Structures are given as C-alpha cells and as structure tokens.
Amino acid sequence: MSTAVPTIADIEALVGHRFPGGNYCVEHWDNALLTRCTGADLLPAGQVHPVVLFHLPIQGAGTSIAEMFALGQAESDFSITIESYDWEIFEPLLESVSYAVGGQVISAERVPVDSDSCYDRIRFQFEVLTPEGALAARTTITWRYTRGML
C-alpha cells in the first residue's frame, strides 16, 4: 500500500480510468449461496438476488477490490471507508446468463477534513449489459480513501 499522500492532480487524473471489462455469469449454486447468506428464499424463475451487485460488477469488469484500493493509492486496507453503494436494476438479473460488464472512475476529488488531514472521494460506476446489449443494472460505488497527515 502507499505511504505518501498522492497529489490532488494524481487523484483528479483518475477520472475516466476504465477497467478492462469482461463478462460475468451467475450460476445457480452461486445464487443459492448468496441468497442463503441474506436469510431470504430463492427468487422465482432463476432471478438472482440483488446482493450479487456487490461483486458481479467488480469481477465482471475485470478488476478487484485490491486493484481499486491500489488505483486510489490507499494507505492501507483499513484506510478505505464506504460512503455509498447505489444500485439501479433495470431488469431482473438471471442465472446462467452471461452479462457484459464495463466500469470506470466517474469522479475523484480531495476533501479537506481539517488543517492537516483529508480524504479522497472516488466514485466508480459499473454497467451490466444483457447479451442483447440492454442495460440490466448500474452500480455506483463511492469510497473514501482516508489520508494521513498532509
């Protein structure tokens, strides 16, 4: 992990960074495990539980949480806090369907806390497309990269 505080220019330059992209298919066993973890029953007709949107977009876009930490130059694994996860579901996600996924950084800014500390707010957006190219879901993830002394 990074030990030096990145410059404002380094953080702002992340806007527009695109992840490699790829495909993701939720198999029945994966959906069953995820659904059980929520304490819910399986949804009808092979629908996937929405909790899949925590990992499907990230993995499907060809990245990982560790890579996203590194991209924002996290000081440690413990320096990231979640500001928000916004999920938009335009049609039910289904088991055994290969979804195309892309993602990018849509905003990045330095936020001062006091005279000697700050955090960087980085917002990632992922789009999940059906095999026909329709937008099935969109997730917007906002993380705070807490910085040490300036």
Determine whether 101 is exposed, middle or buried from the number of CB atoms within 10 Å of its CB (0-12, 13-18, 19+): buried
DSSP class of residue 59 equals H
Among all chains, which residue has been given the structure tokens 């996937």? 48
Phi-psi region of 115 (alpha: psi -120 to 50; beta: other; left: phi over 0): alpha
What average pLDDT score do residues 63-85 get?
A: 95
**pLDDT of the residue at 3:** 65
Per-residue pLDDT for 150 more than 70?
no
Q: What whole-number percentage of the chain has pLDDT above 90?
A: 89
pTM reported for the whole predicted model: 0.93
**pLDDT of the residue at 5:** 87
pLDDT digits (tens, 9 = 90+) for 120-134: 999 999 999 999 999
Tell how strand 80-89 and strand 117-129 pair up.
Answer: unpaired
Label residue 4 by pLDDT band (50, 70, 90).
Answer: confident
Q: How many residues in total does the chain contain?
A: 150
